Amino acid sequence: MISIRRIDQATPAEREGLVGLLIDTVDSGASVGFLAPLAPQAAAEYWRDTLASLGPGKVLWVAEQEGRIVGSVQLAPSLRENSPHRAELQKLFVHSSARGQGLGSRLLDEVERFARSRGITLLVLDTLAGSKAEAVYLHLQWQRVGEVPGWAKDNDGVLRPTVYFFKTLSP
Ligand SMILES: CC(C)(COP(=O)(O)OP(=O)(O)OC[C@H]1O[C@@H](n2cnc3c(N)ncnc32)[C@H](O)[C@@H]1OP(=O)(O)O)[C@@H](O)C(=O)NCCC(=O)NCCS
């Protein structure tokens, strides 16, 4: 059974699990800010900084299966005076061994439930154009805004486009 929970700090074992999840995600070809092969130290530094930033402007969920972290997702609510209704969905990761079983949808449901409970009615994100993630967001009724060409390098050094999405939530 897979359980999902929001965390505001992590045990050493959870940090290790998050590091493994990020390495698996990058090394399986996802465009999430890093190039493969991802060094454990770089992954550990990323999670150290991310965990240190958790608070009103950054929320983290993890999915666990038999004590092992198999997914995570982040939400960055806007802290601006004019946009407390808006948040950015970031870094949705499902371990390659756990994909295709509905975990991505469950993580996104958790984020939406939380967002609604905080009065957030507009979610935005961007992801690699042409990726499975793009197909997933379209399937889950996110609205496709358009592409920005030449956004980020892939593992072969080729610049690839990103695609922006938004989703409005009823309060
Ligand atoms: C994108 C990712 C998170 C999806 O996770 P997942 O657990 O495999 O996704 P799910 O199995 O929950 O599928 C999500 C939904 O999309 C649907 N779906 C899956 N693949 C699809 C496809 N190619 N086309 C259309 N719909 C698709 C599923 O049926 C499911 O919908 P449902 O809940 O109505 O049945 C996962 O592939 C991943 O971690 N990729 C690498 C990291 C990444 O690219 N993250 C996005 C960065 S923003």
Per domain, the residue ranges of the chain are: 2-168
Residue ID of nearest Cα to ligand 1 atom 9 = 104
User: What is the tens place of the pLDDT at every residue in 156-168?
Assistant: 999 999 999 999 9
* pLDDT at res. 26: 98
Q: Please give the number of the atom of ligand 1 that sits closest to the Cα of 139.
A: 26
Residue ID of nearest Cα to ligand 1 atom 16 = 136
Average pLDDT over residues 84-111: 98
65 beta partners: 2, 68
Instruction: Kindly list the protein residues whose Cβ atom lies closer than 6 A to any atom of ligand 1.
Output: 25, 30, 32, 92-94, 99-105, 125, 127, 131-133, 135-136, 139-140
Residue with tokens 């092992």: 68
For residue 160, CA distances in Å to 31, 55, 73, 93, 134 come to 9, 32, 23, 20, 14
Provide CATH code, domain 2-168.
Answer: 3.40.630.30
Q: Please give the number of the atom of ligand 1 that sits closest to the Cα of 32.
A: 47
What is the value of pTM for the model shown? 0.98
Mean pLDDT for the chain?
98
Q: Measure 135 CA to ligand 1 centroid, in angstroms.
A: 7
Distance CA 55, CA 32 (A): 22
Q: Measure 108 CA to ligand 1 centroid, in angstroms.
A: 10
Average pLDDT over residues 27-36: 97
* pLDDT at res. 171: 78
Burial grade of 147 (CB within 10 A; 0-12, 13-18, 19 or more): middle
Q: Can you list the positions of beta strands (E) in 78-134?
A: 86-94, 122-128
Q: Measure 111 CA to ligand 1 centroid, in angstroms.
A: 15
Tokens of 161: 């486009």
